């Protein structure tokens, strides 16, 4: 079992996301949270999973020279991809409206990159989930932004909030990946690491 395989490691989750913390906890392994302040910038020619992988590796590289043989750092980055571009966190109310209008009635892709890092080894991988939104009314968009203030969320929505309940017609792939961590894949990769 995973907790036996990892019993000699100190595991660090480098993420401030309460959702990621909850998801990793669900794998029944002990870990601590140490997150570093990283400027999430990436080369503009990167696309889709290249962005998520670049950013989770960037977050992991912040631990270079700081960790010993028996420490395993887990970092992750989730992006929302639609019409050939990655959606960022909304800058203000109008930007959030505009982002949700882009998602309304369309399919977008949520990609989470995960990086596992020890002193001597770095391994990264990703998972992609397709999310199909119903057509949202202006009233629904305004209700959500006003009441849930999704300014800290790439793509301006949280799948586990009202808008996720109301707008997601179906997904193809992992739901937990949309929440921020592809738990099944992470479990497999940790078992093999």
Rule CB under 8 A: choose which of 21, 134, 151, 193 binds a second copy.
134
Q: Classify residue 110 as left (phi > 0), alpha (psi -120 to 50) or beta.
A: beta
165 binds a second copy (CB under 8 A): yes
69 binds a second copy (CB under 8 A): no
Shortest spacing between CB 72 and a second copy, in angstroms? 18
172 binds a second copy (CB under 8 A): yes
Residue 130 DSSP symbol:
E
Shortest spacing between CB 65 and a second copy, in angstroms? 32
Residues 90-129 that bind a second copy (CB under 8 A): 129
166 binds a second copy (CB under 8 A): yes
Contacts with a second copy by CB under 8 A: the residue count is 29
Rule CB under 8 A: choose which of 27, 34, 58, 67 binds a second copy.
27
Distance CA 144, CA 150 (A): 8
Structure tokens at 170: 């179906």
| Cα atoms in the Cβ-side hemisphere of radius 13 Å centred on 166 | 14
Structure tokens at 115: 């990086």
> CB under 8 A: which stretch of 10-18, 36-44, 97-105, 159-167 binds a second copy?
159-167
Q: Look at the alpha carbons of 9, 184, 165, 106 in this order and tell me if their dihedral is positive or negative.
A: positive
């Amino acid at each position: 079992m995973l907790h036996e395989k990892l019993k000699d490691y100190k595991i660090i989750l480098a993420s401030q996301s309460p959702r990621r913390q909850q998801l990793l906890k669900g794998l029944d392994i002990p870990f601590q949270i140490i997150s570093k302040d990283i400027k999430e910038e990436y080369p503009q020619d990167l696309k889709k999973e290249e962005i998520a992988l670049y950013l989770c590796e960037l977050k992991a590289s912040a631990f270079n020279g700081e960790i010993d043989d028996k420490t395993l750092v887990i970092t992750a980055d989730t992006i929302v991809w639609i019409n050939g571009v990655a959606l960022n966190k909304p800058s203000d109310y109008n930007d959030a409206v505009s982002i949700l209008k882009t998602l309304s009635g369309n399919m977008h892709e949520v990609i989470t990159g995960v990086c596992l890092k020890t002193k001597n080894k770095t391994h990264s991988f990703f998972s992609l989930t397709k999310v199909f939104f119903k057509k949202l009314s202006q009233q629904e968009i305004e209700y959500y932004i006003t009441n849930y203030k999704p300014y800290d969320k790439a793509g301006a929505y949280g799948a586990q909030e009202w808008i996720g309940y109301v707008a997601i017609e179906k997904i193809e792939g992992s739901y937990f990946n949309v929440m921020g961590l592809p738990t099944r894949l992470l479990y497999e990769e940790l078992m093999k690491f």
